[in-house]
Amino acid sequence: MSDTNLTPAPIDWMALLPIIGVTATGVIAMIIEMIRPRQTNNAIVWCCLIGLGVSAYFVLANWSRPAEETFGGLFMNDRFGQVTQLLLIGVAFITVLFSEGYLREKRVPFGEYYPLVLWSTVGGMIMVATRDLLILFLGLEVLSIALYVLAGLKSGEKRSQEAALKYFLLGAFASGFMLYGIALIYGATGTTHVTGIGELYALRETLVDRYPFNVLYAGIGMVTVGFAFKAALVPFHMWTPDVYHGAPTSVTGFMAAGSKIAAFAALIRFLDGAMDLSSVWLPVLTVLAVLTMFLGNLVALVQRDAKRILAYSSIAHAGYLLVAVIAYSKAQGMFDVEIGYGTVIYYLLAYGAMTLGSFAVLSLTARGGREGTLLEDFHGLWRRAPFPAAMMLIFMASLAGVPLTGGFVGKLLIFKDAIAVDMLWLALVLAVNSVISVFYYLRIVLAIVVREPDLHPTRFAAVNPGLFAACGICGFLLIWIAVAVDPFMKWISPPEQHAIELRESPPESSVE
Amino acid sequence: MEGIPLAAYLSLGAVMFAIGALGVVIRRNPIVIFMCIELMLNAANLTFLAFARYHETPLSRIIDPNDTYMTGQMAVIFVMAVAAAEVAIGLGIIMAIFRSREEIDVDKLNLLRG
């Protein structure tokens, strides 16, 4: 590992290109912000969209390469990382697409918004593509610090300030926990790489009996607490509704989708490393999943504010995702069950599309610097903006799990996985919660489609092409992944599995 | 290693971390809360350094001890940089709030609830 000669190990720059691409786009956008004419942000928006497209192309250029670690084990280039990076780039793309109109109506037309969104995305992309805990922490901080600023973007508005402060204090608190956990894991194993945990476990027979595995357990526990904060799992969720409510709506959408994708992908990477100890942490995660699903759904029932309803719904969806993660982890220890990360990725994509899309539609109530987010404020939306309202129906149907939508197929996949690993009761909890959730999604649908404004008609912002496109893309994605489940799952599965399937398929074709 | 045992450093780190975590929960001034968070990060730093200095682990047969030694020290530099960035952002947010409300008690920041 550490040769005394000073030639560094060869670095695979190709694998890093997506991250470099997004970072550089952010820098260019910042420069345009400084030299542009003051009226519009259009040049910045176009620059960001093109840069994100190019970065997505870079990800696809790495697509068929074998999984390997570069940068001395700091950067993992595999299909899982590539797919999640692609998801994050997509989330940033759609956020940039619908933000401009909203920011102008909200009277915060700051060009700095776009570089911050991109750099936050970079943090997420680093998180999902590393198995080194220290780099993971670094990525998490890059993701979060940009989001703290974005949450307080409308600095004159008290709600926005309050959201920024709450998010900042609780986020920093959580990263303190995570960091201390990393320090303990490092102390037990001597490395910050997650594979060290498995290697230490493999040596357990040869160790003197007093070796402090407790240090390792404590470390894993504290890192999990850090993740639970980021992914908004009960009982570490209390910041979520307040921050989602107070932050500007486009930021909320980005935060809800992007930060959850990054947190869950990184959580899987971490748990993969700690898989040998799964008998310790699986019961804890199971309890968290049940609490998260029930609390998210039950509290959402009594909310009156559309953004808060969606915030609690996002907590509930974190619970569903955790069930998928538990099924995936449990299957690793069973000989007869094979469950890949496909379900988690599928649900993350569906969740990202429906959450981002619904926040895009909610952003329509911002007008002239004011924004009402109570359910009453959405009365009559479908008359004023039929297309976004129609898309909102798809998003709500998908969130509630109505058949023929991505959300339904995702829940079905999780349900099947949970049954496959003998956790029927957990699958039933998921199903019950899914039914509960229909009620509050129905209230949003009623507010938008059925109810008429009573006294003063609400004035909505004009639908701009960006928002139109963002809703359209999200709606199309949700239907498309529901129809084309198998091709999609095959596309995201690692190339090794492809090879096996290809080897198996020729006999079949010869029979035909 | 002669002199101060590893356990002493780890205990100091754990106590600092506990004081910091407790402070975040019970104090009401955001700046003090923020100081407590810094205390937690520094407790992690101290733990990293202590482990780096006493770098014998069962994995020392697989991992080069020099790597272990460097990782812990490098981690501290990283964390210090991250903490500095957090200070810049955090104090900015607190300043923005103080300017518009003239007080920063977290109990009085209660517009968002339900």
More confident residue, A335 or A507: A335
More confident residue, A1 or A18: A18
What span, in angstroms and rounded, lies between the C-alpha atoms of A27 and A34?
11
Average pLDDT for A237-244: 93
Average pLDDT for A451-463: 74
Contact A241 B96 (CB under 8 A): no
Residue B70 buriedness (CB in 10 A; 0-12 / 13-18 / 19+): middle
| B2 confidence band (pLDDT: 50, 70, 90) | low
Residue A135 lies in a domain: no
Residue A299 lies in a domain: yes
Residue given tokens 């960006």 in the structure block: A466
What span, in angstroms and rounded, lies between the C-alpha atoms of A263 and A139?
10
What span, in angstroms and rounded, lies between the C-alpha atoms of A117 and A103?
13
Beta strands, E only, A249-376: 366-367, 370-371
Residue A2 buriedness (CB in 10 A; 0-12 / 13-18 / 19+): exposed
- Other CB atoms closer than 10 Å to residue B25's CB: what's the count? 9
Q: Provide the b/e sequence for A398-415 (b: ≥16 CB within 10 Å).
A: bbbbeeebbbbbbbebbb
Find the radius of gyration of the CA atoms of chain B. 19
Question: What is the percentage of chain A residues whose pLDDT exceeds 90?
Answer: 66
Least confident of A103-112, A167-176, A218-227, A228-237: A103-112
- Contact between A313 and A299 under an 8 Å Cβ cutoff? The reply is no
- Structural domain tally of chain B? 1
Predicted local confidence at residue A38, as pLDDT: 67
- Tell me which DSSP letter residue A370 carries: E
Name which of A159, A128, A122 is nearest A142 in CA terms. Answer: A122
Range of the structural domain that residue B65 is part of: 6-108
Nearest CA in chain B to A142: B82
**Chain A with chain B: Cβ pairs closer than 8 A:** 155
Q: Which of B60, B62, B101, B107 to mutate to test the interface with A (most CBs of A within 10 A)?
A: B62
Residue B47 lies in a domain: yes
Residue A89 lies in a domain: no
Residue B114 lies in a domain: no
CA distance A235 to chain B (A): 15
- Contact between A95 and A250 under an 8 Å Cβ cutoff? The reply is yes
Contact A187 B33 (CB under 8 A): no
> Of A161, A187, A190, which is closest to B96 when you measure between CB atoms?
A161
- Tell me which DSSP letter residue B55 carries: -
Residue B44 lies in a domain: yes
Phi, psi of A132, rounded to the nearest 5 degrees = -100, 125
Predicted local confidence at residue A468, as pLDDT: 93
- Structural domain tally of chain A? 1
pLDDT, tens digit, 9 for 90 and up, residues A329-383: 999 888 888 888 999 999 999 999 999 999 999 999 888 888 888 888 888 888 8
Predicted local confidence at residue A121, as pLDDT: 97
Contact A161 B37 (CB under 8 A): no
> What residues of chain A lie within 8 A of the CB of B67, using their CB?
1-2, 191
Asked whether the predicted pLDDT for residue A506 surpasses 60, the reply is no
Cis peptide before A235 (omega within 30 of 0): yes
Residue B1 lies in a domain: no
Least confident of A236-245, A289-298, A332-341, B14-23: A332-341
Asked whether the predicted pLDDT for residue A512 surpasses 70, the reply is no
Domain containing B79 — which CATH number? 1.10.287.3510
- The ipTM of this complex is 0.94
Residue A78 lies in a domain: no
Residue B113 lies in a domain: no
Range of the structural domain that residue A466 is part of: 151-511
pLDDT, tens digit, 9 for 90 and up, residues B47-73: 999 999 887 777 777 778 888 888 999
Residue A304 lies in a domain: yes
Predicted local confidence at residue A411, as pLDDT: 95
Residue A321 lies in a domain: yes
| A427 confidence band (pLDDT: 50, 70, 90) | very high
Asked whether the predicted pLDDT for residue B111 surpasses 80, the reply is no
Residue A9 buriedness (CB in 10 A; 0-12 / 13-18 / 19+): exposed
Residue A134 lies in a domain: no
> Of B13, B63, B92, which is closest to A190 when you measure between CB atoms?
B63
What span, in angstroms and rounded, lies between the C-alpha atoms of A443 and A103?
27
3-state secondary structure of A153: coil
Terminal CA-to-CA distance of chain B, rounded, Å? 56
Average pLDDT, chain A: 89
- Contact between A288 and A103 under an 8 Å Cβ cutoff? The reply is no
Residue A333 lies in a domain: yes
Contact A190 B89 (CB under 8 A): no
pLDDT, tens digit, 9 for 90 and up, residues A488-504: 998 888 876 544 444 44
Average pLDDT, chain B: 88
Residue B45 lies in a domain: yes
What span, in angstroms and rounded, lies between the C-alpha atoms of A330 and A338?
10
pLDDT, tens digit, 9 for 90 and up, residues A274-292: 998 888 899 999 999 999 9
| B113 confidence band (pLDDT: 50, 70, 90) | low
pLDDT, tens digit, 9 for 90 and up, residues A59-113: 999 988 888 888 888 899 899 999 999 999 999 999 999 999 899 888 887 888 9
Predicted local confidence at residue B3, as pLDDT: 79
